Amino acid sequence: MKKPAPRRRPAPETGDDGPPVPFLDLSRSWPSLEKEVLEGIAAVFRDSDFILGARVAALEAEIASLCGAPHAVACASGTDALLLALQALGVGRGDEVVTTPFTFFATAGAVWNRGARPVFADIDLATFNIDPRAAAAAMTPRTRALLPVHLFGRCADMEPLLAAAGGRVAVIEDMAQAVGAEYRGLRAGSMGDAGALSFFPTKNLGGAGDGGMVVTARRDLEGILRQARHHGMSAPHRHRFVGTNSRLDGIQAAVLRAKLPRLEGWTAARAANAARYGRLLAGMSSVRLPAPVPPGEGRHVWNQYTILCDRRDALREHLARRGIGTAVYYPVPLHLQRCFEGLGYREGAFPRAERACREVLSLPVHPDLRRDEQERTAEAVREFYRE
């Protein structure tokens, strides 16, 4: 008997523009990962190695080595990594932490949740990172830590920040978006007192759920972090301080370890995509491309490829009509978030961060982006501005 013909899936709405260009499509890397990831997960079940355990310890060693920091302590998210780092460094009530208003909310949220006060300093529009001079100017006798963010995968200008901290004030690198990034020969996470990583699935090294890690060169911090993530327990049922439950599980570690050997290749693909946008969008007057990292100054790992552009929202709609996915990171600066009203900042306080929020647009740059998709994206940008 003849087999019934397989039911054809209806073709996606393409119009004249071809199939959609997703902003990010994690499913594309799945076929090449499936075998290792599923074997890794099966082994976790076989060994009943569910929380922390051997795989998490191995991942900690691997990430420590990747970041050039001798110690790494895994936890449940990037947000917790920030919280734990702040706690281990003694940041709490009455303290101020200088950070950027142009970042994901978690950066300042963690400071707030420690009972400390986020103090914002404006950014450098060329890099989207905190301006070291503004950071130094925002410091007061109550400043307990500086919290620069290596935004979009580019390291903050760490040398003047470390100089401003002068060893008296702690420096925490929010490197949620910047695993493997470099600054003047040093890896992200190896420059400050601690670095906080996120393994959120969209990050350059993303898990199958939430996850995070603190890396540090300070042995004294490592011990505190290990206790802090486990209710402050120093020996079975002995607590010298109050910590929390923030542990990474074996399944996440198995997934991340299966992906880790590919990170270098993915980062290179991101960098190649960024360089291609540089060529495809060169010479446009309505669009400002990300400033290149000068030779010898470091390595951008391109978690996002973010442009500044005129009429951003209209451009975004135009691209959406062509089926091209984009994102706005971030539409509202943190000093103007409702929850921080009590901090007393007004519109105009940080003009460069506010301008970034009005003008930024992130284009697809993920490692599985195809050349034709990128060409269509760039063409659609040019078409919008008729440039």
Place of tokens 């009429």: 311
Closest approach, Cβ 385 to ligand PLP, in A, equals: 29
Tell me the closest approach of the beta carbon of residue 242 to ligand PLP, in angstroms: 21
Q: Which is nearer to ligand PLP, 109 or 367 (CB)?
A: 109
**CA 20, 22, 25, 28 torsion: positive or negative?**
positive
Nearer to ligand PLP, 210 or 354 (CB): 210
Report how far residue 95's alpha carbon sits from residue 169's, in angstroms, rounded to the nearest whole number.
11
For the chain, the maximum distance between any two Cα atoms, rounded to a whole number of angstroms, is 85
Considering the complex, what minimum distance in angstroms separates the CB of residue 203 from ligand PLP?
7
As measured in angstroms, the least distance from the Cβ of 152 to ligand PLP is 9
For 51, phi then psi, to 5°, come to -125, 130
Q: Residue 348 is which amino acid? A: G
| CA atoms of 101 and 365, how far apart (whole Å) | 24
CB of 210 to ligand PLP, least distance (A): 6
Minimum Å distance from CB 113 to ligand PLP?
Answer: 12
Indicate the residue whose CB is closest to ligand PLP: 78
Residue with smaller CB distance to ligand PLP, 40 or 212 = 212
Whichever of 189 and 212 has its CB closer to ligand PLP, that residue is 212
Q: Would you tell me which residues interact with ligand PLP (CB under 6 A)? A: 77-79, 103-104, 106-107, 149, 174, 176-177, 198, 200, 210, 212
**What contacts 308, CB < 8 A, 6 or more positions away?**
125, 287, 288, 355, 356, 359, 360
Q: How many other CB atoms sit within 10 Å of the CB of residue 153?
A: 28
Q: CB-wise, 281 or 361, nearer to ligand PLP?
A: 361
Decide whether 51 or 314 has the Cβ nearer to ligand PLP. 51
Q: Which two tokens stand for residue 366?
A: 């993920």
Q: What gap in Å lies between CA 88 and CA 84, rounded to an integer?
A: 6
